[in-house]
Amino acid sequence: MGARCYQTAAMVFEIVQVGDPVLRQAARPLDPAEIATPFIQELIVSMRMTMYDAPGVGLAAPQVGESLQLTVVEDDEEHLATISPLRRAETRRTPLPFTVLINPKLTPLGDETDEFFEGCLSLEGYSALVRRHRAVRVEALDGRGKPIKLDLEGWPARIVQHELDHLAGVLYVDRMDTRTFTTGENLGRWWKARPASEVRARLTP
**26-30, 61-65, 86-90, 126-130: which has the minimum mean pLDDT?**
86-90
Q: Is the pLDDT of residue 104 over 80?
A: yes
Confidence of residue 42 (pLDDT cuts 50, 70, 90): very high
DSSP string, the chain: ----S--SS--PPPPPPTT-GGGGSPPBPPPGGGTTSHHHHHHHHHHHHHHHHTT-SEEEGGGGT--BSEEEEEE-HHHHTTS-HHHHHHHT---EEEEEEEEEEEEE-SS-EEEEEEE-TTSTTEEEEEEEESEEEEEEE-TTS-EEEEEEESHHHHHHHHHHHHHTT--GGGTB-GGG-EEHHHIIIIITTS-HHHHHHHH--
Confidence of residue 156 (pLDDT cuts 50, 70, 90): very high
The pLDDT of 173-190, averaged and rounded, is 92
Instruction: Provide the pLDDT for residue 79.
Output: 77
Q: What is the mean pLDDT of the chain?
A: 91
pLDDT > 80? residue 58: yes
Active-site positions?
163
Domain ranges of the chain: 21-203
Share of the chain above pLDDT 70, in %: 96
CATH of domain 21-203: 3.90.45.10
What percentage of the chain exceeds 90 in pLDDT? 76
